[in-house]
Structure 1
Amino acid sequence: MRHNAALSFLSLFSSLAAATQIPGYPGFHSIWSDGFGGGAGQSPNGGQWTTVTNLHVNNEVEDYTMSNQNVQLSGGDTIQFVPHRNASGQWTSGRIESKATFTPQQGKVMMVESMIRFGDGPSDRQQGIWPAFWMLGDSIHHGTEWPRCGELDIMERINGQFTGYGTTHCGYSKSGGPCNEPNGRFETVAISDNGWHRWSLKIDLTNSDWRAQTIQWFYDGRGYHTLSGGTIGDAAIWGSLAHSPLFIIFNVAVGGDWPGPPNGATVDSWSSMMEVSYVAVYST
């Protein structure tokens, strides 16, 4: 991996104020976390993360790479995902996936949380930029197709808009079904600015009746979307979301069916980055 000294210096400078201890919450204990410690320009912990390459989905235009131009530790206890466009107009970016999987336990609440900020490029210059923090059913690694594997999008944002999306994808078909595919079942929340904010998801299995179990989305501790097993209305589909192993993904996509392609005004580099200061999984 090529080490870009200038990139690392800028990332360290921009992130010194971001160092945040992974928070504790009454009634919860942390079962897995990463505070992204390490030297500026280094790759994320290979024992915890797979840095993804050679993946092309959703008609996105970027190539995911292992270069520290696209994904790197800042040196200030954060990780940065930075899309770049080369002289030929080709985009590259970064995506990581947790090697660990997380299975909600009956009778308990599992919470997944991260602190995230975005680059300061104006919205009219972020066409096609698509940062995300999400979870995907591990069954996709074992032959189960999407959306049947289940997907929980904890935070997505497109085109620099100050709107966050909490979305569920599920079901037996890529069209229709209880998750309204291909768009998914979602709610939105206003994002106040590009600075640091907490994005959380709780899977609550304290009720023995799967119909009364819930998945809830939070922005800075405020719930804005709740989905129940009863709303899904199918025990097997609910099981793919709330009773099965899930893994964590961070990425910044460029283009794709939802945001549309970038245009000549779309800015790359720091203006369109996503930066993460921690991620943690908790259980009661």
Structure 2
Amino acid sequence: MKKFFYRVPNMFGICVLLLLPLLWGVSCRIDVSSDSDGAANEEPGGSDTSDDSGGDDTLTDNYGTSGLYLDTAMTWTTYGLMSRGAKASALINTWESASVGVDGDNVATITINKDNAWRGISLCEVPYNTSSGSYYDFTDVATITFYVKSADITADHIRVLLQSRGSDMADFSQKPLSSYGTGTITDWTKVSIPVASADRISTVSTALAVTFYNESGVSSGDTVQIKQIGFLDASGNVTSVIGKISYEAAPAETYQSKGLFLNSAHTWETACLDQKKMYLGRWEASYVGVADEIATFTAKTGNVWKGAALAQVPVNVLAGSYYDLRNVANIKFKIKSTDILPSDLKIMIQDNGHDLGDYPSNGAVNLTNYYIGDTSTHVSDITNWTEVRVPVTAAARTNTISTALALVAFGNGAAGASVDLNDTVKITEIDFLDADGKSVDIAGNITYDPAFDAGSRTLVWNDEFNESTTDAEVCPDAAKWNYDTGTGPGNDGWGNSEAEVYTESTETNHPNAYVSNGTLKIKAVVADDGSVTSARMITSETKNFTHGYIEFRAKLPTQRGTWPALWLLGSSLKSGGSWPACGELDVMEYSTNFWGNQVFGTAHCPAGYGGNPVATNGSPVYNVDTEWHTYAVDWQSTYIKWYVDGKCLLTYNNPDGTFNNNFYILMNVAVGGTLGGDWSSLKTGTMEVDYVRIYN
């Protein structure tokens, strides 16, 4: 955390910290989903009151409510695209060197992000959660219409593409808009594309895409806007194109509720595991989404290692918790992919965090080495749902399994030639079976940590930061928070050579700490003259306590040079005491410059030479700036435990007597200094806190 004074750590400790970070990530795959009631979103009005400029959000030419619109969930929806009682959606996809965004007016903005390269956007593509043989039906389509606008790119550089069964349709193979009579498009312009009789087929996989292929008039940063797509029959009326779209249901369950299923909380649950949960992990270049009890693994990038841990030891367990595969003869699951070959997919199992030799992440064993169901036939095709049986070798039949099943793919070289950006694999119905084919409870060694269950505790102090639930910025509750201000007692950057000057928030002036939309913001700001201000909120005058369970829920700044912290200091520091004699508990501190994606928990006291840590550990945490994470300390007289998202990060047993005294809370964003590092590119960096809670 932000230290009151800095201790020079030993070089061994620095080396260890520098070696810890691992790179993780997420993909940008767009999931297709329906409203909770299964109905389509209400579309804008369809009265024929507007002209053909397309400048408003009402449909023109009597389209009614059947034209396609882009909603904020990144899908095109329409009342006319109904299937099996659920909202049907057309997938919007991003290609190599372009991206698409959606505003509140149902306008898609396509942005070019590379010069002189193939790029495009598939605006109406068959959704990926459909059954085999699902296509758009153009049998009755005579004209495709939409509105387009661009101040950057002319009509002769924007091409139209349609595909049948994934192949370009000859009459729509990237012809420019100008070939359809479209002129200037600096203002909203209606485009009408005739569909010849020969192209009125029922196997259309991409109903509309726009491309820009090595066009000299197209540059990085250029944009094109599109809205109000309509598919019209020969009479000019909207016709449904959804006739052959069939949405996919999960395969029938075969294990009497004992197979593992993925729920919306991204955990695997099963009756045979007594409703205990398995952790779902996502690795460097992949993402796993959840729908209809099916896990969809998506490659975030091409040509790079990627994978997903589908049955990993849960986060909220005690040390020594592992899965027990001693009685498991086979692992079974159902898998499907139309993108990746089974020869480029591998199964991995880990024992105590290390790859087992028979199931290595980078070894030669791939899916084609395993069997279809109970047969002796090797897996060769997974374009349809295929049950896979993976025999468990003697080496894997241990009771110290940390990852009971993971799927990995390689896109580097010939070993992963079929793995490309946004390729997907679907998995469901995982089960662990004994030699007789019966489900085995593998959770015997899993012990859940009661200390993590805050529901068993009594809340004794909290701040939910609800002073403002709108955009209005107000001062944090003065009855709960006071402030450290300036540059430290010795004017030395708080003993760490930090660059910021801490300010105090008042009712009339709160530049660096304020509440809005139900959360606290602590904001570091670099002024034009290079000076830096931030805030360090404390409870030394309002809340001092000894022992308890304290939890923060926060998003962290990731700008280089920021050093956010959530921590505790001994109260004696405010009454003439000194550091490290007062003691320090760092619930969470984070440094993009030095620790990558790792957060650290640490304890400092006189027992550590010169204040060096008596206990410290880091843990990778992903999307710290965009997703909420919890950081907590269970502080007791006989132990101190640190938690990140419920996972025990560190245990300090029989802590020094320093930690049997009163402490107070601190939250701050430092800039530069010992752990902030280079901040030359920094403009602002904000830590957002949803709540602070203390339980007895």
Tell me the TM-score normalized by structure 2: 0.31
1:136 to 558, 562, 569: 569
Aligned partner letter, 1:143 = G
Alpha-carbon contact 2:487-2:500 (below 8 Å) kept: no
Structure 1 pair 111–165 and aligned structure 2 pair: CA distance change class (3 A): same
Residue 142 of structure 1 deviates from its aligned partner by: 1.3
Measure, in 2, the Cα distance between the counterparts of 1:33 and 1:53: 23
Q: Report the equivalent of 2:686.
A: 273
Match of 1:26, SS state, is helix
Q: Report the equivalent of 1:190.
A: 620
Q: Report the equivalent of 1:163.
A: 598
1:34 aligns with 2:477: no
Deviates more, 1:153-162 or 1:78-87: 153-162
Residue 28 of structure 1 deviates from its aligned partner by: 0.3
Residue 81 of structure 1 deviates from its aligned partner by: 0.7
1:252 aligns with 2:669: yes
Measure, in 1, the Cα distance between the counterparts of 2:628 and 2:668: 17
1:85 aligns with 2:526: yes
Residue 261 of structure 1 deviates from its aligned partner by: 4.0
Q: Report the equivalent of 1:148.
A: 581
Alpha-carbon contact 1:81-1:274 (below 8 Å) kept: yes
Measure, in 2, the Cα distance between the counterparts of 1:36 and 1:191: 24
Measure, in 2, the Cα distance between the counterparts of 1:221 and 1:257: 29
Measure, in 1, the Cα distance between the counterparts of 2:455 and 2:528: 51
By percentage of residues, which structure has more helix? 1
Q: Deviations over 1:188-245 (max 9, x none)?
A: 011121210010100133xxxxxxx11000001110101112xx5xxxxx2222x110
Alpha-carbon contact 2:521-2:686 (below 8 Å) kept: yes
Measure, in 2, the Cα distance between the counterparts of 1:227 and 1:196: 26
Aligned partner letter, 2:553 = M
Measure, in 1, the Cα distance between the counterparts of 2:645 and 2:500: 30
Alpha-carbon contact 1:51-1:95 (below 8 Å) kept: yes
Alpha-carbon contact 1:61-1:261 (below 8 Å) kept: no
Aligned partner letter, 2:649 = Y
Q: How many residues align?
A: 225
1:71 to 507, 510, 513: 513
Residue 42 of structure 1 deviates from its aligned partner by: 1.2
Q: Report the equivalent of 1:100.
A: 543
Alpha-carbon contact 1:252-1:274 (below 8 Å) kept: yes
Measure, in 1, the Cα distance between the counterparts of 2:609 and 2:676: 18
Measure, in 1, the Cα distance between the counterparts of 2:456 and 2:585: 23
Aligned partner letter, 1:168 = A
1:214 to 622, 636, 639: 639
Residue 180 of structure 1 deviates from its aligned partner by: 4.6
Residue 43 of structure 1 deviates from its aligned partner by: 1.2
Q: Report the equivalent of 1:62.
A: 500
Q: Report the equivalent of 2:695.
A: 282
Aligned partner letter, 1:65 = T
Alpha-carbon contact 2:514-2:520 (below 8 Å) kept: yes
Residue 53 of structure 1 deviates from its aligned partner by: 1.5
Structure 1 pair 181–259 and aligned structure 2 pair: CA distance change class (3 A): farther
Q: Deviations over 1:7-54 (max 9, x none)?
A: xxxxxxxxxxxxxxxxx8332000100001113321111111003312
Measure, in 2, the Cα distance between the counterparts of 1:102 and 1:162: 31
Q: Deviations over 1:130-181 (max 9, x none)?
A: 000000000101111100100000000013621101011100xxxxxx3354
Alpha-carbon contact 2:670-2:676 (below 8 Å) kept: no
Measure, in 1, the Cα distance between the counterparts of 2:499 and 2:610: 22
Q: Report the equivalent of 1:208.
A: none
Q: Deviations over 1:99-142 (max 9, x none)?
A: 210112xxxxx1000100024x5xxxx33210000000001011
1:116 aligns with 2:546: no
Aligned partner letter, 1:27 = S
Q: Deviations over 1:39-96 (max 9, x none)?
A: 332111111100331243021110111353311001x211001111111101111110
Aligned partner letter, 1:132 = A
Aligned partner letter, 1:190 = P
Alpha-carbon contact 1:168-1:179 (below 8 Å) kept: no
Match of 1:47, SS state, is coil
Measure, in 2, the Cα distance between the counterparts of 1:180 and 1:117: 33
Q: Report the equivalent of 1:209.
A: none
Q: Report the equivalent of 1:179.
A: 608
Aligned partner letter, 2:518 = D
Structure 1 pair 182–240 and aligned structure 2 pair: CA distance change class (3 A): closer
Measure, in 2, the Cα distance between the counterparts of 1:227 and 1:62: 32
Measure, in 1, the Cα distance between the counterparts of 2:498 and 2:567: 17
What aligned pairs does 1:36-55 form with structure 2 within 5 A after superposition?
Answer: 36-39=465-468, 40-55=472-487
Measure, in 1, the Cα distance between the counterparts of 2:569 and 2:485: 17
Q: Report the equivalent of 1:201.
A: 633
Match of 1:46, SS state, is coil
Match of 2:676, SS state, is coil
Over the aligned positions, Cα root-mean-square deviation in angstroms equals 1.8
Q: Report the equivalent of 2:437.
A: none
Measure, in 1, the Cα distance between the counterparts of 2:523 and 2:683: 8
Aligned partner letter, 1:268 = K
